[in-house]
Amino acid sequence: MAATSSTADIDPSYREALLNLLLSELAEPTANHVNDYMRAELGSSRPHILGSLLAVALQEPQNVESDVPEVDQFETLLASSDSQFEVLFRMKRATVENLITVIEKSLADAHNVVAESVPVKKKVLLTCWLMGNTEQYSSASGIFGIKNELIHPIFVQICHELCVLSGRYIFWPSLERCGTITKAFEDQYGFPGVIGAIGSVHISIKRPVSEDDPNQFLNNKLNIYTTVMQAVCDDKMIFQNVCVGFPGRCSPSQVLVGSPLYSRLVDRTNPLIEPHKHILGSSSYPQLPTLLTPYSGAHLNDRQKKFNTLHDKARSIIDKSFKILKARFCRLQHVDISELEVASKVILAGCVLHNFALSHGDEFHIAPDAEINSNYSLNYKTVSHSMNSSNLSYVEVEH
């Protein structure tokens, strides 16, 4: 048999029908026996399997020895319905169009632009598509009509541009905004003085190749390599501060103390948070005047128990934000990159996209019982790790 793609012998009409079925199933699952079976048998793997089938359905037959796809399926994606577009690119069409405009302006001043002949629009949509699924980079070649060897460099460059723009979309709130956030937390959770919730999340990565001791990133419990991202979010799950690149063996308190955020939280001369306001953190964090943690102990009185209940409800917003981040941009469930600096940029880029979408009123909803590996319970070990500092006014990237 000739070496061709897996759709080589499919009649075009059947292929189109398969494409339409997959798009409709991904966008708006219907109540039928096929969907019921897939949900029951595949569970949380269903979107990934459907995404893989979609990638195959979009590929045209081609010679394996050729790096250039014969047919560009990009226009087929653009012609999809708004709901299908949102499934494929993880954001609404209007949000993506705004993003394209922003990236076009940013790349206009950039040096060493990768694949200049490829339109910025296609590069941005390629990046959104890759962020939204766990397909291998080669799968995008036939879909977007781009040479296979250019897919990863384009993806990395757009992620880099998003990191350059991070200060516009990830920043500490103004005093006025803090007042709005405080009121929202109190109205929704009954907890006063809150301007945000802090937490950390483990993100699976390839074994780092550029680190002196890559085993610092090894999660012994799951036997995978992870890097830790710390973030603070507001009541709308918008990230106010992000710090990326800590070894997977670091505990939340170690990450906090090693981050530039910590020095600002304890700074009495130039305080980050005004008096009587605070962020909320779990019991994994140290208690600070600006960081409230729950009461501990087996014999708590009613007042302390009520405090812990309200605290937990308000603090859990950061856990939900991590869950949505990984559900919307599935590539962050496993960043298949071994260069830690590049992997960190991909993670930060996902956070920028998260905030960009929310700032445009583009929310993402997941089922309450959705199974997303948004965090891991680990037996942490103390490690020594030198962290680089950067300006707290926007975001920290640690590597």
210-240 pLDDT, tens per residue? 777 899 999 888 789 999 999 999 999 999 9
Residue 6, pLDDT score: 45
3-state secondary structure of 278: strand
Residue 7, pLDDT score: 46
Euclidean distance between CA atoms 304 and 27, whole angstroms: 45
Residue 366, pLDDT score: 85
334-362 pLDDT, tens per residue? 999 999 999 999 999 999 999 999 999 99
The dihedrals phi and psi of 230, each to the nearest 5 degrees, come to -105, 140
Euclidean distance between CA atoms 292 and 281, whole angstroms: 6
**Which token pair is 152?**
């990863």
pTM value?
A: 0.80
Residue 110, pLDDT score: 83
Q: What angle do CA 37, 41, 44 make, to 5 degrees?
A: 110
352-388 pLDDT, tens per residue? 999 999 999 999 998 776 665 544 333 222 222 223 3
Sort strands 291-292 and 334-335 into parallel, antiparallel or unpaired: unpaired
The angle that helices 82-89 and 12-27 make with each other, rounded to 10 degrees, is 80
**Which token pair is 154?**
């384009």
Residue 36, pLDDT score: 54
All residue ranges of the chain with pLDDT < 50 are: 1-8, 28-32, 60-71, 374-395, 397-399
Burial of 189 (0-12, 13-18, 19+ CB in 10 A): buried
